[in-house]
Amino acid sequence: MASAHDDSHKKWGSWLQHHFQEPVQQFETAKLGMWLFLAQEVLFFSGLFVAYGVYRTAYPEAFEAGSAQLNRIIGGFNTCVLLVSSFTAAMAVRSAQLGKKNQVSLNLVITIVCAFAFLVVKYFEYSEKFEHGLLPGNHFAPHMAEIHNWVEGATGPVTEMPAKTHVFFGIYFCLTGLHGIHVAIGIGVLIWILARNMRGEFSKDYWTPVDIVALYWHLVDLVWIYLFPLLYLI
Amino acid sequence: MTTQTTTHAAGSTAHGHGEVDYIRENTSPLSWIVTLDHKRLGILYLVSTLTMFMVGGVYALLIRTELLTPGRTIMDPDTYNKVFTLHGAIMVFLFIIPSVPAALGNFFLPIMLGAKDVAFPRLNLMSFYVYVLGAIFALVSIFTNSIDTGWTFYTPYSQTTSTATISMTLAVFILGFSSILTGVNFMATVHKLRAPGLHWKRLPLFVWGIYATAVIQVLATPVLAITLLMLLMEKVLSIGWFDPRLGGDPVLFQHFFWFYSHPAVYIMILPGMAVVNEIIATFSRRKIFGYMFVAMSSVALALLGFLVWGHHMFVAGMSEYATMVFSALTFFVAIPSGVKVFNWVATLYNGSVSFQSPMLYALAFIVLFTIGGLTGLFLGTLSVDVHLHDTYFVVAHFHYVMVGGTVIGFIGGLHYWWPKMTGKMYSEKIARIAFVFIFIGFNMTFLTQFVLGSQGMPRRYYDYLDHFQPLHGFSSVGAYVLGVGFSIMLGMFIYSLFKGEKAPPNPWGSAGFEWATSSPPIMHNFHGTPVIHRGPYDYHLATEAELFDGFPEDLPATAKPAAAKPAAKQAPEPEPAKAAAPAPASREEEE
């Protein structure tokens, strides 16, 4: 009986940790752990989503006016960038399953580049908002000349934003900021996985970390898929 | 479960005999600091949580000393506000929440599952250091300007106070992640690392309890994290989600806070119940009555815990329809709680009960938890809550559940598993003396507070009317008795480390799986992978050798006859084939 266990550890590489019997057990455990972590992430974001729902209901004009100040084209571009990165992340997993080391690296590099692109675009978006005084809470002091008219069909300059528009920007910066932190962490772990792949740690038999990190990256993508329409489109 | 094959560690050993235990495996300090072993991490958590318990206990004694007399006794009102805040914050976030799951759970969950370690040992180490980081932030807060908001950080006061709320909020935020990571780890461990033959219906109830706790840790704690983050953002950027001057709503904070903090109450009490299951089964020599009901009641409590947060806010300005719904849902909590209490009592009935110190704590748990639970119904009733809200009645109710329940359960577990963890026996006589002090002291302190509260004494007040003085004085004296009890217990444990007798593998004669390894356990927990053929409470299926002589790998080649042991310790069910030879057979197989 003990021999079954020992054989298993001799047969597979050092990547099979001592407390697991079989590679499939280790893989399933890691995957379950990541799914639980993702459940936790969803609830972590939930507080901000609830706050969004509560205050959108309380101050609908403020949210309409605030939302109109966001650039849908830039937001849409960022959405595409993240979707592409999620696709390449999935392709990295597939390549890893097939044991194609170079393709794994290529796909991971594209994912990382997209992630950086997302953050760079976000940086320019944020700076524009800062310059126009569209800041959260107490710091909210919009430069009226720069404000887009949010009323359907109207084009003239705006003299005043609805009360509580600062709450919209508070929620906007917190939601996208928290998401941005997740993107930055994602870049970190993707680079780590890339380095491990270059060192040849993964094979057809062992590609769990690639899969796990891709799962995390899909969640980061998915959060944005909700943020984009909630903040930019409606 | 009808099989008569009753060995745990059936099979040969890969490592042979004489393997050193986890304490002596490597004694350098560094090996402890960076250990990945779940047993060592359990011990590290145990030492840290007990330290925090002592700190929180000192604050408790300071509170009670100040309240000995009306007006100023030993400190000014601002200091008093800080002291009761720190007592609450330290006890809740640094002691109770990690006490049973992180300390005892880390140590025993993998052993009870027949696993070599938790699913993610490195994550486990990280959780511990995240906890330490959180503790450091809490200390920074204490030593800079302390904090006086109460442990609930209610807005708007927490936005305006000049005390160090930011560092304390960050501390709790960080501690939350330690709790989440532990929960993720334990859930994955229970799902994927069970030994062959250990299916869900054979899981020890301790594992069920810790599993239900882990579900709450994973699903509720992130909401606390984001709430505290929002609180911080509000403080730093004045965003306006909680501040009414900026268009926010303080009640929204309360909703968020209690959406975590009510389930957190179950994070605290479920592990206490989990420990009590094990103790009651062992000292009744009997299968837990209604095993599946008890297991499912833990899961039911975990789920119901998410639906009742509003009962903390009956007088906070919610709509009356919401309060009615929350009140009705709150009463549902009584069902799984009642299932547990009645099943424990039914287990005792017809059991072969012995009253060693762990059992005393388990019985105290049943009594005190029942009082705590029933007084909870008073508070869940809308009309009564209006009268009792924010009085000492709430304080007493909370302490009956958290101290009378969780802490008593934790201490009971500490007594129960101490021989297994340290390999040393403590003095049973002193343990009983300490128990008497703790039980009497606790009831003196908090039974009094039910009376105080129903007479209208508000909680958290620095000063009070003269006619409350006798009751306050009595309560404070009770707190000193309680403090003496805990000190005796601590001294007894420390003494046993140095002078205690060597513990046998199974000092209580339990059929539980964790007693199947040596005391203290070897580094890999078991020689080889155990194969489980019976449930942890199947006394009628356990061999005499398992129950009385320790377990196969620790026995000498010639088996000791088990017949010399007292017959009273056997299970009541007649099992003709019980003494058949599986254990000696497995022993030979092993040699």
Task: Select, from the ranges B7-11, B37-41, B576-580, the one with the highest average predicted confidence (pLDDT).
Answer: B37-41
The closest alpha carbon to B47, from B27, B61, B33, B68, belongs to: B33
Every domain of chain A and the residues it spans: 21-233
Comparing CB atoms, the residue among B184, B221, B247 nearest residue A59 is: B247
Look-up of token digits 């809200």:
B389
Q: What is the token pair recorded at B215?
A: 């579900």
pLDDT in tens, B95-143: 999 999 999 999 999 999 999 999 999 999 999 999 999 999 999 999 8
pLDDT band at B549 (very low <50, low <70, confident <90, very high): low
Strand partners, B424: B502
CATH of domain A21-233: 1.20.120.80
In a domain, B44, yes or no: yes
Higher pLDDT among residues A6 and B26, named by residue: B26
Whether residue B507 lies inside any domain: the answer is: no
Q: What's the rounded Cα separation, in Å, for the pair B39 and B526?
A: 13
Q: What is the DSSP letter of B566?
A: -
Query: Would you list the DSSP string of B186-244?
Result: HHHHHHH-PPTT--GGGS-HHHHHHHHHHHHHHHHHHHHHHHHHHHHHHHHH--SSS-G
Domain check: are B435 and B544 in the same one? no
What is the mean pLDDT of each successive set of 10 residues along chain A, which is 234 residues long? Answer: 50 82 90 96 95 94 92 94 97 95 96 97 94 87 84 75 90 95 97 95 92 96 96 92
Mutation pick from B124, B237, B526 vs chain A, by most beta carbons of A within 10 Å, is B237
Residue B569: per-residue pLDDT: 39
Please, what's the b/e burial string for B144-162 (b: 16 or more CB within 10 A of its CB; e: otherwise)? eebbbbbbbbbbeebbeee
Minimal-distance CA residue of chain B relative to A140: B239
Contacts A41 to B, Cβ<8 Å? 222
Structure tokens at A7: 């054989």
**Percent of chain B residues past pLDDT 90, beyond the cut:** 76
Name the residue among B373, B438, B428, B420 with its Cα closest to residue B517. Answer: B420
Closest CA to B526 of A122, A2, A143, A108: A2
Instruction: Show residues of chain B in contact with A141, CB under 8 Å.
Output: none
* Burial group, residue B392, by CB count within 10 angstroms (0-12, 13-18, 19+): buried
Task: Please give the interface size between A and B, counted as residue pairs whose CB atoms are below 8 Å apart.
Answer: 135
Domain assignment present for B570: yes
Q: Are residues B11 and B105 in the same domain?
A: no
A139 touches chain B (CB under 8 A): yes
Q: Does A55 touch chain B (CB under 8 A)?
A: yes
CB spacing of A174 vs B528 below 8 angstroms: no
Query: Which of B14, B117, B226 lies nearest to residue A2, judging by beta carbons?
Result: B14
Q: Is the pLDDT of residue B309 over 60?
A: yes
Nearest alpha-carbon partner for B477 in B441, B525, B506, B509 = B441
Together in a domain, B53 and B145: yes
Residue indicated by tokens 């705006």: A158
For the ranges A146-150, B193-197, B383-387, the lowest mean pLDDT is seen at: A146-150
The reply to whether A45 touches chain B by the CB within 8 Å rule is yes
Percent of chain B residues past pLDDT 70, beyond the cut? 90
Give domain status of residue B512, yes or no: no
Residue A7: predicted pLDDT: 55
Of the candidates B97, B182, B197, the residue with the CA atom closest to the CA atom of residue B406 = B97
Alpha carbons B69 and B474: distance in angstroms, whole number: 11
Residue B519 has what pLDDT? 87
**In the predicted structure, residue B584 carries a pLDDT above the cut 70:** no
A7 touching B, CB under 8 A?
Answer: no
- Classify the C-alpha dihedral A29-A34-A35-A37 as positive or negative: positive
Do B12 and B37 reside in the same domain of the chain?
Answer: no
Distance between CA atoms of B356 and B280, rounded to whole angstroms?
11
CA–CA gap between residue B493 and residue B427 (Å, rounded): 8
Q: Which residues of A touch B223 (CB under 8 A)?
A: 43-44, 46-47
Q: Indicate whether B13 pLDDT > 70.
A: no
pLDDT band at B12 (very low <50, low <70, confident <90, very high): very low
pLDDT value for B498: 94
Chain B residue with the nearest C-alpha to that of A49: B226
Domain that holds residue B541: 1-16+527-591
- Note whether B159 and B235 are within 8 A (CB): yes
- Per-residue confidence (pLDDT) for residue A23, from 0 to 100: 87
pLDDT digit string, tens, across residues B477-536: 999 999 999 999 999 999 999 999 999 888 999 999 999 888 899 998 988 888 998 999
Shared domain check, B5 and B105:
no
| B379 within domain boundaries | yes
- pLDDT (0 to 100) of residue B16: 43
Q: Which two tokens stand for residue B136?
A: 């450091």
Structural domain count, chain B: 2
The verdict on B1 and B46 lying in the same domain is no
Q: Residue B25: its pLDDT value, please?
A: 84
Residue of B nearest to A34 (CA): B184
Question: For position B465, what pLDDT does the model report?
Answer: 94
Domain presence at residue B397: yes
Please check whether residue B511 lies inside any domain of the structure.
Answer: no
Tell me the mean pLDDT in the region B391-406.
Answer: 96
Same domain (yes/no): B456, B531: no
CATH number of domain containing B241: 1.20.210.10
Mutate to test the interface with A, among B117, B229, B241, B251 (most CBs of A within 10 A): B241
User: Which of B12, B183, B239 has the CB atom closest to A167's CB atom?
Assistant: B239
Greatest Cα pair distance in chain B: 81
How close does chain A come to B132, measured CA to CA in Å?
Answer: 21
pLDDT above 90 (res B332): yes
Q: Based on the fold, state whether residues B12 and B33 are members of the same structural domain.
A: no
A10 at interface of B, judged by CB pairs closer than 8 A? no
Which value does ipTM take for this structure? 0.91
> How many angstroms separate the first and last alpha carbons of chain B?
27
pLDDT, position B473 = 96
Q: Residue B15 corresponds to which tokens in the numbers above? A: 């490592």
Amino acid found at A73: I
Q: Which residues of B touch A36 (CB under 8 A)?
A: 183-184, 187-188, 218
pLDDT (0 to 100) of residue A149 = 82
**What pLDDT is stored for residue B18 in this prediction?**
56
Same domain, B185 and B291: yes
A138 at interface of B, judged by CB pairs closer than 8 A = yes
What is the least distance, in Å, from the CA of B72 to any CA of chain A? 40
Tell whether B461 is covered by a domain. yes
- The whole-chain average pLDDT of chain B stands at 88
Inter-chain contact B239–A29, Cβ cutoff 8 Å? no
Mark whether B540 and B494 lie in a shared domain: no
Q: What does each C-alpha distance from A162 to A65, A172, B83, B384 come to in angstroms?
A: 7, 16, 44, 44
